[in-house]
Structure 1
Amino acid sequence: MYHDATLAAHSAADPRPSSAVSHGVGIAGMAGLTLWLVACLAIGMDGPYAALVGLLASGLPMVGWSLLVDKVHRSPTTGIDWSVKRTFAETRDISLTKLAGLYVTWGGIAIIYGVGRFYWEGNFAFAMWCFSWAVPIVALVAVPYVLWLDRHLVEPHDGAWHLGAWLTGQRGVDRQAIHGHLRSWAVKAFFLAFMLAVVPGNFGGFIRTDLSGLRDPVALAQWLIALMFVIDVGFATVGYILTLRPLDSHIRSANPFAAAWTAALMCYPPFILMEAGGPLDYHPGTQEWTDWFAGHPMLMSAWGAVLVVLTAIYAWATVAFGLRFSNLTHRGILTHGPYAFSRHPAYLSKNLFWWLSTLPILTTGSVIDAVRATALMGVVSGIYYWRARTEERHLGLDPVYREYSEWMTRRGAVPRFFRWMVAR
């Protein structure tokens, strides 16, 4: 989702850099999720357990494709050299130190969850229930996993090790590595809780739709939009869960810039500014597109089709990540799918959807209400522009991203379109 180095030379075709993820990963995940959704629609399974199985239905095919077809475990970017086989005695102390760092990190996250009453109310209570079952299992599996993996890592002294070494008074501690480790886990803890909180509602709402009413173009459009959000949330949740080196989906770095965290957290609870009653709530005095176009069936159908396409692009942008979706992190540079046309297709399509679905310039109140709603939505779009720029600043530390960004500036369809608009 992110992309900018100066290229020494380009071929006549000016090819963009290769993507860190293949098309096949997303296709495999979509196939698995589609089969599960069809089964749930046929049987009427719409509960939270069915939603969790949906994560497995998309995640397992992606893991299989990544290992068996793409063979990502052999990629040098994993930091693993399978030809290196240190003995258990050689890596035992490293692994134990790393496990100490991990357990302290998880304990700190548990304290934050426990103190934050917000996490035990509403939809977030489901996420806490999931964690209460999963964490003991993860804590046990982490021991053999770390002991096994450290025998093959090129550099086993990662951020978790540096934290454990600092806690146990060892030498050679790199505080920057500790900061990077804590930032990465902060991202995962914050966003995974949010994703798990919304998975059941999205899934159940889609499955429970009365299919007999889909002959109505508006109902069909709304059902398809709901489907796109089921896909988006499902793939995103899988991405936050499977941050593993053998899958080459580990976090290379978490965004180190405070501005990036500020811009991102504004868009998610409990810090969200755009929710009902929030300072950037643009909804008062507005109505949805279905109200504005009531009585104009052709226009309503066309408008609904556009909104479906925009949400499809949004979901496509998430699917393109495969196992690597995550906010505020670098987990490999994407150049395929919608990222072949725009640096930030998800933000672009999401904001266009909001503008077209709400039409804030129209109002049920006064002209002041229309001006206020339009201005506030403009601020919301500005925040997403800010998010995009802070992400580019972070990813721009990687020369692969700089190469991609430079290619996108010259050859990307969306940047070229905006240049054409400015020229006109």
Structure 2
Amino acid sequence: MNAETKFAPDTRYDPRPASAVSTGVGLIGLAGLIAWTCVARAYGMEGPLAALTALLACGVPMILWSLLVDKVHRRPSTGIDWDSPPRPLRETLDISIAKIAGLWGIWAIIGAAYCIARWYWDGAWLFAMYVLGVASIAMLVFSIPYVIWLDRRLKEPKDGAWHFGQLLIGRGDRADRQALHDFWRAWAVKAFFLAFMISIVPGNWVEAIHPESAWVSENPVNLARWLISVMFMIDVSFATVGYVLTFRPLDAHIRTANPYAAGWAAALICYPPFIMMNPGGPLDYHIGTADWIYWLGDDPLIMALVGLWLAFLTGIYAWATVAFGIRFSNLTDRGILTHGPYAFSKHPAYLSKNLFWWFATLPFLATTDNVVDAIRNTVVLGLVSGVYYWRARTEERHLMADPAYREYAAWMERNGPIPRLISKLTPRRLRHRTTVRIAPEPGSS
């Protein structure tokens, strides 16, 4: 029988590959975040300190679940040997000193970059700079005992920080070039995206906490608008926690960061200060547009249904981030997810986000009554969706170096509802062109 004429596959005989993250870790973090949100709404705590507390309410339960229930610290992928006695300090102290030098060196470079880049000292970025400035003191202090403790237990303690430390102390001949590049890329990801996430934490928190319950329950449209704000708050909170908790004992360290320039370009143009979708940018699709409430205001039923649909899409978007637990991060491999929305699509966040934009903006309608504006906005939003398709392809090119992702991608092609639907809708002659080729390991010829 032709494969395309078969019914949906029986996954009992083709089980989904195991996920690097359990469902429980995301759910316990969500429970903690919701509990704190309820307290904050009850007492009107909508300030930045309450927003930072929300990160603790989300992150601490996930750390405890990961260690006590999932026991992630025992996984071989951590590189930690728990079964043998720790090595004597005299054997690892020189390594630890070099690693601390490497860490402090990269932090100094990141701090200098923050100081030089002017956008970090304006608007919401100022909050991120304040938080990171205070946190840097704790980082400097606690990095010493942490590195010394960890190096005595690591199977191979000479990681990227050690190689960078060798370079800084004048022993560059001992430093591996590939290890240095991996180290720099990983910290570039964390430095860029963590500052951005922290900067938007307070704003998203206010949007979820400030609306009064009477306003929320007044009509379905208000409820939908508030739910959308809550979903974005959940997404931002989990993402920020993910960028913070890149620790080996949690098995949440960065295995690799995307080594391809196209991957970085596709991601960075979606974030400030490089974002192209902002007002006045080359991919601004809002000229002469209005949102869904403007266009559907004359039909309360349709407006309510569309509002709930948009809340559902935002829920999928937030779910895709919650599924990461403590591992969310752009441009990195921190373990392959196969559960939650990733059992249906390899890119559920991109898919739901772009659908949200199309339904929320309705770009083919223009308040100027100018058909050119409508056509332009529709085409430009199509280009924005194309950017996210580009991001997905460049991410897959990077992740295909991981055997776990290759196994997951193959399973999705056989069983994933959305990949199977796309396959059926794609002409046979074009399918081979959309197959992602397995990329070589970074640095190989």
Structure 2 counterpart of 1:39: 39
Name the CA distance, whole Å, in 1 between partners of 2:42 and 2:49.
16
Name the CA distance, whole Å, in 2 between partners of 1:423 and 1:293.
36
Name the CA distance, whole Å, in 2 between partners of 1:419 and 1:177.
39
Structure 1 counterpart of 2:440: none
The structure 1 residue matched to 2:387, chosen from 378, 383, 388, is 383
Q: Kindly report which structure 2 residues correspond to 1:364-379, keeping only aligned pairs within 5 A, or say none.
A: 364-365=367-368, 366-379=370-383
Structure 2 counterpart of 1:182: 184
SS in 2 for 1:384: helix
Cα deviations by residue, 1:232-291 (Å, 9 ceiling, x for unpaired): 000000000000000000000000000000000000000000001111100011110001
Root-mean-square deviation (CA, aligned residues, Å) is 1.3
Name the CA distance, whole Å, in 2 between partners of 1:160 and 1:420.
47
Q: In structure 2, give the amino acid aligned to 1:100.
A: A
Name the CA distance, whole Å, in 2 between partners of 1:141 and 1:112.
23
Structure 1 counterpart of 2:67: 67
Question: How far off its partner does 1:318 sit?
Answer: 0.1
Question: How far off its partner does 1:150 sit?
Answer: 0.1
Q: In structure 2, give the amino acid aligned to 1:351.
A: N
Question: How far off its partner does 1:11 sit?
Answer: 8.2
Structure 2 counterpart of 1:289: 292
Q: Larger deviation: 207-216 or 366-375?
A: 207-216
SS in 1 for 2:391: helix
Percent of pairs identical after alignment? Answer: 59
Structure 1 counterpart of 2:413: 409
Answer yes or no: is 1:259 the counterpart of 2:231. Answer: no
Native 8 Å contact 1:83 1:152 kept in 2: no
Q: Kindly report which structure 2 residues correspond to 1:116-155, keeping only aligned pairs within 5 A, or say none.
A: 116-155=117-156
Structure 1 counterpart of 2:157: 156
Question: How far off its partner does 1:417 sit?
Answer: 1.9
Question: How far off its partner does 1:335 sit?
Answer: 0.1
Name the CA distance, whole Å, in 2 between partners of 1:102 and 1:23.
33
Name the CA distance, whole Å, in 2 between partners of 1:293 and 1:12.
45
Cα deviations by residue, 1:193-221 (Å, 9 ceiling, x for unpaired): 00000000000121111221222111110
Cα deviations by residue, 1:63-110 (Å, 9 ceiling, x for unpaired): 000000000000000011112310110000000001111111000000
Name the CA distance, whole Å, in 1 between partners of 2:108 and 2:83.
34
Structure 2 counterpart of 1:392: 396
Name the CA distance, whole Å, in 1 between partners of 2:174 and 2:201.
42
Name the CA distance, whole Å, in 2 between partners of 1:163 and 1:79.
20
Cα deviations by residue, 1:34-53 (Å, 9 ceiling, x for unpaired): 11000001000000000000
Question: How far off its partner does 1:168 sit?
Answer: 1.9
**How many residues align structurally?**
415
Structure 1 counterpart of 2:91: 90
Structure 2 counterpart of 1:4: none
Q: Larger deviation: 221-230 or 171-180?
A: 171-180
Question: How far off its partner does 1:423 sit?
Answer: 6.9
Structure 1 counterpart of 2:78: 78
Structure 2 counterpart of 1:20: 20
Q: Kindly report which structure 2 residues correspond to 1:104-115, keeping only aligned pairs within 5 A, or say none.
A: 104-115=105-116
Name the CA distance, whole Å, in 1 between partners of 2:245 and 2:33.
17
Name the CA distance, whole Å, in 2 between partners of 1:167 and 1:207.
47
Q: In structure 2, give the amino acid aligned to 1:264.
A: A
The structure 2 residue matched to 1:191, chosen from 193, 216, 236, is 193
Native 8 Å contact 2:238 2:328 kept in 1: yes
Q: In structure 2, give the amino acid aligned to 1:405.
A: A
Question: How far off its partner does 1:418 sit?
Answer: 2.0
Structure 1 counterpart of 2:319: 316
SS in 1 for 2:385: helix
Q: In structure 2, give the amino acid aligned to 1:400.
A: A
Task: Please identify runs of 4+ aligned residues in structure 1 that moved more than 4 A.
Answer: none
Structure 2 counterpart of 1:348: 351
Question: How far off its partner does 1:12 sit?
Answer: 6.2
Structure 2 counterpart of 1:7: none
SS in 2 for 1:228: helix
Q: In structure 1, give the amino acid aligned to 2:365.
A: L
SS in 2 for 1:19: coil
Cα deviations by residue, 1:317-366 (Å, 9 ceiling, x for unpaired): 00000000000000000000000000000000000000000011111120
